[in-house]
């Protein structure tokens, strides 16, 4: 069956924004005080910081739109992304988890449209990215860019944002890793999510 066209394009948006966010973070420096004065950032640091902020705001918009679209029938419904809220959903996920040891021997679940495990992993990924983008948005609006000063609440959101960054790296690696494993096993998942496939 595959995904509808808008879901595919939203996936492309996240597939571009998330790695750019993770990589830009590696090249930017957060503003810090040195002897009570703001540390001067290099032009490259400023560029990566600005890029990180604006792509983060775009990612927030994309993930919110993705979740809202998912509530529609055309978007697959929230039951696919959050099957544990459906009757028997948790049992279905547990049944699929029991099959995990067979994955490496080629027994991968191919019917992703009816896979509660795949749906729940995608749903958790969207929630993770939403939390990452929302905490980043809190910093975007609540941190003084020149001095780096922020309220206690914004500082807490900064700590959560940085911790979530590690989880997003882990999710991205696992998500791409599973796509590669499916490709190795001969499953054509990319055509199901490519906006250019028919």
In order along its 198 residues, the chain shows pLDDT tens digits of 567 889 889 999 999 999 999 888 877 766 565 666 666 677 887 788 888 889 999 999 999 999 999 888 766 677 778 887 778 778 888 887 777 767 666 666 666 567 777 788 888 999 999 999 999 888 888 887 767 778 889 889 989 998 998 999 999 999 888 888 777 777 777 777 788 876
In a domain? residue 97: yes
DSSP states of the chain as a string?
A: ----HHHHHHHHHHHHHHHHHHHHHHH-----EETTEEPPPPHHHHHHHHHHHHHHHHHHHHHHHHHHHHTSTTTT-HHHH-GGGSTTHHHHHHHHHTTGGGGGGT-----GGG-HHHHHHHHHHHHHHHHHHHHHHHHHHHB-TTT--B-HHHHHHHHHHHHHHHHHHHHHHHHHHHHHHHHHTT---HHHH-TT--
In a domain? residue 78: yes
In a domain? residue 99: yes
- Which pLDDT belongs to residue 75? 63
In a domain? residue 198: no
In a domain? residue 170: yes
Number of independent structural domains in the chain: 1
- Which pLDDT belongs to residue 184? 79
- Which pLDDT belongs to residue 77? 74
User: Per the confidence metrics, is the pTM higher than 0.85?
Assistant: no
In a domain? residue 67: yes
In a domain? residue 113: yes
The boundaries of the domain holding residue 168 are 5-30+39-193
- Which pLDDT belongs to residue 59? 93
- Which pLDDT belongs to residue 170? 94
In a domain? residue 88: yes
């Amino acid at each position: 069956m595959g995904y509808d066209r808008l879901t595919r394009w939203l996936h492309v948006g996240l597939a571009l924004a998330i790695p750019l966010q993770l990589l830009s973070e590696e090249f930017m420096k957060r503003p810090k005080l040195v002897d009570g004065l703001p540390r001067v950032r290099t032009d490259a640091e400023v560029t990566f910081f600005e890029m990180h902020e604006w792509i983060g705001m775009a990612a927030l918009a994309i993930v919110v739109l993705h979740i809202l679209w998912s509530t529609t029938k055309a978007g697959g419904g929230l039951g696919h992304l959050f099957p544990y809220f459906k009757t028997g959903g948790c049992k279905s996920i547990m049944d699929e988890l029991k099959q995990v040891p067979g994955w490496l021997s080629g027994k991968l679940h191919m019917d992703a449209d009816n896979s509660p495990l795949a749906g729940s992993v995608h749903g958790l990924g969207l929630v993770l990215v939403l939390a990452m983008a929302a905490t980043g948005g809190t910093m975007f609006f609540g941190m003084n860019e020149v001095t780096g000063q922020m309220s206690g609440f914004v500082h807490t959101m900064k700590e959560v944002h940085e911790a979530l960054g590690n989880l997003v790296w882990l999710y991205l690696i696992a998500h791409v890793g599973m796509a590669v494993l499916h490709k190795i096993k001969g499953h054509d998942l990319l055509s199901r999510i490519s906006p250019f496939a028919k």
